[in-house]
Structure 1
Amino acid sequence: MKKIAILGSTGSIGTQTLDVVRNDNGYKVVALSANKNIDLLEKQAIEFRPEVVTVVDKSMANILKKRLKQYNIEVLSGIEGLNNIASESTADMVLTAVVGMVGLKPTLSAIKAKKTIALANKETLVTAGKIVMDEAEQNAVDIIPVDSEHSAIFQCLKGGSKEEIKRLILTASGGPFRGKDEKYLKKVNVKDALNHPNWSMGKKITIDSATLMNKGLEVIEARWLFDVKLDKIDVTVHPQSIVHSMVEYIDGSVIAQMGVSDMRIPIQYALTYPKRKKNSLDSLDFVSIGNLNFERPDTKTFRCLSLAMEALKIGGTMPSVLNASNEVVVQWFLDGKIGFMEIPKFIEDIMEKHNNILDPTIEDILESDRWARELLRSKQL
């Protein structure tokens, strides 16, 4: 029985991971964590009976501790609690599904504790890709991607060696505003942006999909996860979200991973790797799908993708600044403080003001993240 810890169990990926676990008795959940959604975390804890749970919000942790007293489940709190369940729990695998920079240190802690990582936290590799991958190599730890696109590439790479790769092709749905121009986008609201045509995701990642920042972050992540330079990574818009990504090899062969738009498929693959297991999810019906379409991304209108690629080219602490700025301004948009087209403008402004550090330490990366957030908040929107 594989023992797993789930960081971010109350979010979209976390809840779907637990759905996979419900349908397979080959797993034991030994640790769960949430930011502050203790009502759902309480239900999960009672159902799965982990050894320990963590709530990042310390005041909420005290409430949960009283609720779970009779179940003999340890309740921890804060970032320290996340680090503890990532490194000290009895888990064989740590699935990191928290949103934001909060996932970086626990992931590093888990790697140093030689836990297998199922990675669904983009920020870990976006901001500190080289450091994290070097640490994983030193500790002989596997990092298995959970995102559908990276899971697809991970699977397609079984078809050849690294030296035989011509390019990685990340597919993007295009989000709810595919094909729209700047004039249209200036008028869209939060409800419009959250109306994703294919995927059910959390609010932040859904907005990132609408701006194409999500694809930009995935490009940065792919560069480190697969050790492939930017000039070998392409993005193609594929509105049906059936082809989850592809790898082209030097002989002209292209291997694609396809499937229905259901995150439980890549989640299950990460949990069962290197094996596959039968499940009850829908099969792909090519006849009913009919056509598969592919387009070039409109990086002039959706500038977040270009900004992410530029941050990767610059390197150093710039991806951390990009990520931090994006997190702040996306929340501003969700709160109704700025318009949709202002998102890339604020991000670019902060990037231009940043004094980049080319060979950063973890402390440099965290400081650049803090700097970007504080500079944006000084604008007092």
Structure 2
Amino acid sequence: MGKAIFFNIPAHGHTNPTLALVRELIDQGEEVLYYSFPDLKEKIEETGATYMPYSIERLEDTNYTEEQLKYFPIVFRVCIESTATMLEFLLNEVDREKPDYIIHDSLATWGKYVGQIKQIPTICSTTTFPFHESFLNMPKEFFNLILQFARGDLKHLVKALSIQHRLCKKYNIKKPPLLDALASKEKLNIVYTAAEFTPNGDVFDDTYCFAGPSISDRGEGEKVTLPISEKPVVYISLGSIFGENKKFYEDCFHAFKDIEATFVLSLGNKMKETDFSFVPENFILYDFVNQIDLLQKVDIFVTHGGMNSAQEGLYFKVPLILYPQQQEQEMIAQQVERLGCGIHLKECNSDTLKQSLLKLLNNEEYKQRSEEFGTLLQEKGGYKRAAVEIMSFYKQKV
């Protein structure tokens, strides 16, 4: 059977959707060497893959704040500088391991360069929205992109382009277009959502496999035992990165304290129940829950709208209330609202939270739309379909 190298970045959100896919490839007889960072070693090895460390302990320029890393020029510079630092090491690794094909995250720029230099079939794993040049014809998206360039500081873009030019010249490879840093398009692109959920989803060609969410129980977090009751169950989480938001949680307490429902609140690892002077009786607080398990038991999901959380909620047919924390999550919230599967909070306070929850509880149309779209996502095939596409792709290249 085949041998794959998987290059990813140090982010749980970019890793989690790939784990079931990697396990499926291995179950089909493939060997997978997965390059990542120490914090993710354990969950990678649980798939049966071989964890492989990079030659650096972290990506370059990690002095940037989370706020700065929201902007494209800075992300592009971090990725291309990391590529320049690691490229010789990775080329030697590939010479030693002789993989049949490479899979790389859309932000793991080094995977694309290694594939081009060594002329190995290369596949892009996209855990966010795929990017297409037609997006620049959409006025709002074009404005947002310009805003990212301006706020991200053009000096980072200039530096990144200089490094990119030097690498392409050194290795005699074609310089990719600038927008490829956002899209990282390959001859096969695995996307963990549906085209129907993607902005301008009809513009993507058949090199894109919209496999739908890659859902598997990763065994993370505590399984929630809910009280036996006819009351609706509402799950609230801002995810692991944005969990330190005391005001949001207190707004939830104030908004929902008198509503006849059970509220399960996952605080993440940045706050504790003791941080609050008052917690309503209809709330159950956890540090970290098993989200895949819980979403199969709840009626509404209040979320920051990260791609993985939103896809998991939609997959299990749960209407969403979305409180985005950054630009990509704004786009996700807009798509959920467009589909009629939830409400995008453009302003978040106790009043808007309460009004949104009551609207979802009292309007069956949201539940019906969520049922329909969840069925569509489940029928996409998920990680099993992605594995079939990958194996078919590289065998055609042999």
The TM-score normalised by the length of structure 2 is 0.35
- Computing the radius of gyration from Cα coordinates, the structure with the larger value is 2
TM-score normalised by structure 1 residue count = 0.36
